[in-house]
Each structure stands twice: as C-alpha cells, then as structure tokens.
Structure 1
C-alpha cells in the first residue's frame, strides 16, 4: 500500500461567509499568503520522513479553495529538498492549458527530481473552464487530444507536427525529455464512468482524488478494470488511487473537533460559491457527455451540504480519529475497494497546521506500520 500526502493549499484568512465564484481578490493578503505557502511546502517536505510515498498538489483558479494556479511551481520547490518521495502533480488541468507547455514542465520536473514525477493529467471541475474561457462542452475532446499529444511529445525522438481539432503545432521537439521511460507514470481523474474508461484506455492510474462514496468508487473501479482488460492489460492495485479528507490526532475526540472546525470553513467558505457556479455550468453546458454522469455530480453537490461528519466517515470520504481508529477505517475502505494508493487531503479548511504536523508523526509511528503491507 502506498500513501500520498496531498495539499489543497487553501487561503485560510477569511470570514465564515460564502461568495460567488470568482471570489473577489480584494480579500487576498499577499503577506499572509506568503506565510501560508512557506508552511505548506515545509509540511510537504516533512512528509517524506513520515512514511508517505507520494507528496503533491493540484491546480485551481480564481478561488481561495486552492492557491495553486500552477502546481508545477510547487513541484519544483519539492524536487531538491526531497530525495525519495514521488512528486505527485495530480495535477495539471489538461484541457485548459497548452499541452506542449505541460509536457515540457513535467519533463523538467522529472529530470530535476531524478525520475520521481507522477504526472497527473486531469480534466478539472466544471467552473474551472470559465476561468480560462474554454467552453466546458469541449472538455472531453480537449482532454483526449491533449493527453495523446503530451505522450507523443515525451516519446517521439524526432520533430513532428500536430494538426488536431483543438491543438495545432507545426513543429514539436521538446527539450528536456523525461527521465522515466517511456514516460512518467500517469494519473487521470476517474470519478465517473467516462473518465474511468479513458484512464484505462490510456493505461494510466485512475485517480479519485476525493472519493464521493464507497459504492460509486467501487463502480468506477469495476469499469476501469473491465476497460483495461478489453484494451489488453491488467491494472495492479497501485493503479487505483483513492482520496479522502484526513485528520489523525491522539484521541478520537481531538481529531473530530479539529476536523469539524476545518470542515466548517471548507464547506461555508471554500466550497460555498464553487457549488453554485458548478451547478450553473452543469445546467447550461455539456460538460458531461451523458445525463447520468451530470445528475450524479449534481446529487453529490446537494448531498455535501447536509452531510454530517459521521456520515462522511461512514461513506469513506473522511478518515478521522486516533491512530487506532484510523487504522480500522483504512482497512475497511481498502477491503471495500482493493486499491493500492491512499491520497490523504490533510489541509481541510482551517484545520490547524500544528494538528496536521502532529498527525503526520502519528501516522508514521502508529498507523503506517499496521497498514503498509495491505
């Protein structure tokens, strides 16, 4: 079993009120953000000594939800202070960006880290498309084309041209190339049937960075494995990444108190405006290719507003408790899903950084020894 230390890098100095997306940046204090970046990166570096196999973050725009307009900058900050841990960029929002730029920056990170990059090629959540003026209805076409172009840019030894529907380049020959051959391991978001099929077709690890619930996760994994078999390969457990909000403390009571505090800010401030904007995108565009996927996403948004901490733990979307309790929760989720990578989102809203740091040490000393061989 592998464990990933994943950081959303939220901005945590706001009042408990919701704003429509995009969040007005008059509330942003650069000095406070500078201190947050330093604390967050230091925690990510510290994760290497606490039993984690991966450390990473992702990309978001126009919101305090996550201050990573370019997660590759964080990857560069992690490359030299760490020596063993995988640099997991999960990841770049492929349909929104220049795919050649992604290929180049990922190749740089792979060389800088000595071949430790995990390359996330993610589609992103609905409202992100409004930030870069990309029609959400083009998301799937752009995702498929961009992923194929990135892989070719990494693996083609001679200059080539590309004339696709959404991307055109007269000449492509990237410098540097990645260290890992034929290319760094891929993670593709797979939180619905269509994305699970695409991840399998690309022979990528399927990534459910924040699990919706155990039944839907199990169904996506089933579809992923069936599609992989139909495409002539068989995924291992480590080809399935499952993530959840995580808080480990000395006692269940302390962990629950800290998680409840963090979730209040996460739900009211960080997610409040995002949910409304996502509903608008889902209603007015073809971000999803079929109504079933769209309705499931809308249901997930609706359910989140009323979900209690106990319900979230039962659904498998939260790990919370003492080391002994978290060991039991990890084993239960693993027995249901059979995956090989746990992705711990550790900075949940305003969950205190000192609680996170102590939780990392508890994970190292009292959780990891009991679950690393699952």
Structure 2
C-alpha cells in the first residue's frame, strides 16, 4: 500500500458568514478577502507540512492546480513542487497536476515537468487533469464542448516531446509548432509515471486503461459513495482485459487521527465544517458548464463534486454523519486503521491520497494528525497488495552516488546596517567538497 500526503492549500480565514453572504468560493470570490501577508504565512506553513510528511515516511507529496479561489491557493503546482525538490529527499513529487488543455503551447508542461524530474532526481509523478469547470471554463475561458479535444491533443504533443529522439514538427488543430526539441528531457525514461485525476467522468476510465495510466479518483464524498466510481473503473478494466492491479487506482480521502474517537471530534469537527461549508461553497452556475460533462457521464448518473446537488447531499450533516457516511475517516489510530483498511479493500485501491490538512486546520493539529498516522496507522497498512507490482511510481534509477544534495548555505552578517548576505563562495566550496 502506498500513501501520498496530499495538500489543497486552502485559505484558512474566510469569514464565518461566508456561505450566507458570498456568491462562491471559486471564480468571483472578492479579492479583498485575500490578505497577502496572511498568504505569505500560509504558503510557508503548508510547505513546512509537506516537508514534515516527507520526513515521516510518506511515499508521495501531492499538489494540484486551481485558479481564482480560496479552496486551493495553487494556480501553479509546479512552483510548489520546485520548492519541494530542494527541501525533500525521500517522497515522490505527485503533481496532480497540470491542466494541460489550458497551456498554450502545451509543450510548456513537458518542459517544466522534465525540469522537476531532473532537479528531484527522478521523483516526479506527472498528473494530467482536464480541470474543473470552474477553472477551465470560467477562470480561463475555455469552450466546454472542445476542452477534451484540446486535452487529447495536448497529451499527444507532450508524450511525443518526451519520447522523440529528434526534432519534429507538430501540426495539431489547436497547436502548431515548426520545431519541437525538448531540452531538458526527463530523467525517467521515456517519461515519468502518469496519473490522471478524475471526478467521475467515464471517458477517463477508457483513457487510463488504453494508455496504462493510473486513474486517480478525487472525491469529497468519501469511500462509501466512491465505490460506484471505482466499480465502474474496474468494470472497464476487466472488459479491456487489463490486470486489476490495485496500484492502478488512486483515491483521495479525508483522514484525521487523534488519541481517541472523542478527541478527534473535538480536534477536527470545526475544521471539517469549514471545509465542507466554505471551501466547497461553489455557485451552481460555475460547477458544471453546459457541454463540460459528456452525455455518457451524465447518463451514468455520476454527480459532480461541487454545486447544488453536492451541497444538498451534505446539507445538515454533522460530525457523526460525515463519519458514518464515509466522507471522513477519523478517530483513534485503531479506529482509523480499521476503517481505512475496509475502505481500501472495498475500492481495490493501492494508492491513497490522504488529506490531513483540511479547511481551517492549524499547523499544530496538522502535525499531530500526520505524526499519529505515520507512526500508528501507516505501518499497519503496508501489507496490503504485496502480491502486485506498482508500475505507477518512479523507479528511482538514479544511483545514490549521483544524487545531488543542496550545499549548506553560509551566512555572513554585515553589522553596519544589519543586513544578512549569503556567501556564494562558501556554498560553492561546500558543494565541491562533496
């Protein structure tokens, strides 16, 4: 069993009456609710938390892309991943991902992912989401009916750029390039593992199965409701004669650990309420633009993650309801172990994307929950799926002797004006000494 510590990076300080007073947390959220000084602290707190997860033995560190919202402050997950390449050593960098249809030209994704893979020593997992309707259709103005066509073309270009041995031309419908010549190329050859985040679109099942990609189901309804989607994925895999390998499925689940079940409610209930009632407060008109979801997906009866239907399902739910219905797995280490084991078995899932910072949760609680999970839950889950090969994680082919480490930074204080300057020569000497 593999575990990715996944961070949404929400804005933690929305007003208490946000749901009643404001139109939406996404797209048209008022700019005066954002304080850059608070944002400075949040980004650094959140990077600290991801770095802590690396030190605690998680297999991956997850980041993602969203725009014009307080739900997740990462318009560029690549910037977050770049920061993590230099301050982490063990975990994979799971970028879920770059919404590749939004990039013009998409070759930019191939270049930046290649850079991240090289800098990190081959630890990158490349995520290619279509993107939410809020992000793609309303924030970035893409036409809903053509977004998937653009996505498929962007995917074709990126993969060819990674795999090609020579310069080539690309003459697509949306992108035309006379010269495609990727520098740098990724360390992992022919390219990093690819995970496809999905919210239930049935076309994504076929896309993953046909390309041998991992399907990453990002759900805020939890594992009980998520079983319908996972069953649909495994049904497609079986029809196509694919191995029903648990590692080819990832699932996002909110998890919170405390000393006891009662203490977990005291610790985390207010922050869960903040997440479900403020961070997911999305105007229905932004949630699902006409043409964004295909007829096939609508006929399958799969509901969107946000909007009126999702909100109605959560209306009036209390802590116990969230627990009983599987939205949240929380409690003592023993309770979490038992529920999580049940969940992963029911989904046939080998990659858990665990959400441990959620909503307004402060750093001290995030650290507590992460520590308890890493020491008292994670080790007892490792025995799941040992009979299967995980082909969707980096192979770590770079020899340890070739793995570069940042040189220690030496500071020299200038007493006259109190400024601090970095001694570049000292850093260079330290590096060459290694």
Q: TM-score with structure 2 length normalisation? A: 0.80
Instruction: Indicate the residue corresponding to 1:80 in structure 2.
Output: 86
Instruction: Name the counterpart of 2:75.
Output: 69
Q: How many residues align?
A: 370
Q: Cα offset for 1:95?
A: 1.8
Aligned twin of 1:154: 162
Per mean C-alpha deviation after superposition, the further-off stretch among 48-57 and 1-10 is 48-57
CA distance in 2, matches of 1:295, 1:228: 18
SS at match of 1:162: strand
User: Per-residue displacement from partner, 1:155-196 (whole Å, max 9, x unpaired)?
Assistant: 111111222222222221111111111210111023322222
Give the 5 Å matches for 1:52-63: 52-63=58-69
C-alpha spacing 1:221/1:177, structure 2 compared with 1 (3 Å): same
State which of 215, 218, 225 in structure 2 corresponds to 1:209. 218
CA distance in 1, matches of 2:141, 2:301: 21
Counterpart of 2:332 in structure 1 is: 322
Q: Using the alignment, how far apart are the partners of 2:128 and 2:81 within structure 1?
A: 15
Which residue of 2 is the match for residue 11 of structure 1? 11
Which deviates more, 223-232 or 110-119? 223-232
Structure 2 stretches lacking a partner, 5+ long: 385-434
Whether 1:124 aligns to 2:134 is: no
* Runs of 5+ unmatched residues, structure 1: none
Distance of aligned partners of 1:51 and 1:276 in 2 relative to their CA distance in 1, 3 Å threshold: same
Alignment of 1:97-112 (within 5 A): 97-98=103-104, 99-112=106-119
Give 1:258 shift: 3.0
Instruction: Mark the structure with the bigger radius of gyration.
Output: 2
C-alpha distance 84-68 of structure 1, shift in aligned 2 (>3 A): same
Q: For residue 276 of structure 2, what is the aligned residue in structure 1?
A: 267
CA distance 1:324–1:219, shift in 2 (3 Å): same
How does 1:17-28 map onto structure 2 within 5 Å? 17-18=18-19, 19-20=22-23, 21-28=27-34
Cα deviation code 1:11-46 (max 9, x no counterpart): 112212132232111121111100111110011011
The structure 2 residue matched to 1:137, chosen from 137, 140, 145, is 145
Going from structure 1 to structure 2, the CA distance change for 1:143 and 1:212 (only over 3 Å counts) comes to: farther
Deviates more, 1:3-12 or 1:218-227: 218-227
Partner of 2:365, secondary structure, is helix
Equivalence for 1:186:
194
Contact 1:247 1:258 in 2 (8 A): no
Distance 1:294 1:70, change over 3 A: farther
| Preserved CA contact (<8 Å) 1:104 1:174 | yes
Match of 1:289 in 2: 294
Secondary structure, counterpart of 1:147 in structure 2: helix
C-alpha contact 1:189 1:199 (8 A) present in aligned 2: no
Partner Cα separation in structure 1 for residue 160 and residue 234 of structure 2 = 24
Change (3 A) 1:222 1:293: closer
CA drift at 1:334: 1.4
> Which is further off, 55-64 or 363-372?
363-372
Of residues 36, 41, 45, the one that matches 1:39 is 45
Provide closer, same or farther for how the CA distance between residues 200 and 313 of structure 1 changes in structure 2, counting only shifts above 3 A: farther
3-state SS of paired residue (1:199): helix
TM-superposed CA distance for 1:96, in Å, is 1.7
